[in-house]
Amino acid sequence: MIGMGTSERYSIWTIPSGVAYSQTQEIISYLSNKGHEFEPHVTLIGNFCTNREQAINALQAISRGITPFEIQLVSVEYTATPDLIIRAATTPELSAVFAMVMGALAPVRHEVPGPHLSLHYGPVSAEKLSLAIHSAQAFLPLTFKVEVLYLCSTEGKAGQWTIVSSTAIAEGLTK
């Protein structure tokens, strides 16, 4: 279990590969404001607070407990926060991974909108939003294999986030 009490904020991601990466990066670039562009990523769990060592230990425990799996991106949503995201399909594999992530991080407070890929954080003009949604819908569904999990420091704005650790799934090898 992870303890609370520090101000470091993290998320656990996976990064799409191939066409999934290039298609989503194109939309992120189109929507970004200077300094707010970020790498395409699927957030498995977002914005939890703990110290770095405990977060890395949780990431390694999760990766040892699962095998490579697929994520299918299926639907575009403009949320109330307002963010533009692509939801991941709720498959038995992804549900099991999500449950393991939630268990490894209990009782830490975190955001739980479900696994998703963010295309933009914050308000966007109606014209840009419409074009981005149409562009994303044109390539969905989009599937990619997950073989690595990433621990990302999510302090500051999206363009300032940094990957602090990565772990190959089922191998427990950390970079």
Beta carbons within 10 angstroms of residue 58's beta carbon: 24
CATH fold for domain 9-168? Cyclic Phosphodiesterase; Chain: A, (3.90.1140)
Beta carbons within 10 angstroms of residue 127's beta carbon: 8
Please report which confidence band the pLDDT of residue 103 belongs to, taking 50, 70 and 90 as the band edges. Answer: confident
Indicate the helix (H) or strand (E) that contains 100: helix 92-105
pLDDT for the residue 99:
86
Q: Domain-by-domain residue ranges, the chain?
A: 9-168
Among 21-35, 36-50, 73-87, 102-116, the minimum mean pLDDT is found in: 102-116
**What pTM, to 2 d.p., does this model score?**
0.87
Amino acid at 146: V
Report the candidate in 157, 143, 154 with the shortest Cα–Cα distance to residue 71.
143
pLDDT for the residue 35:
53
Beta carbons within 10 angstroms of residue 73's beta carbon: 25
**Average model confidence (pLDDT) for the chain?**
87
Please report which confidence band the pLDDT of residue 109 belongs to, taking 50, 70 and 90 as the band edges. Answer: low
Residue 87 has pLDDT above 90, yes or no: yes
pLDDT for the residue 112:
59
Q: How far is the CA of 94 from the CAs of 76, 145, 152, in angstroms? A: 18, 11, 20
Residues 113-146 have pLDDT tens digits of 789 999 998 888 999 999 999 999 999 999 999 9
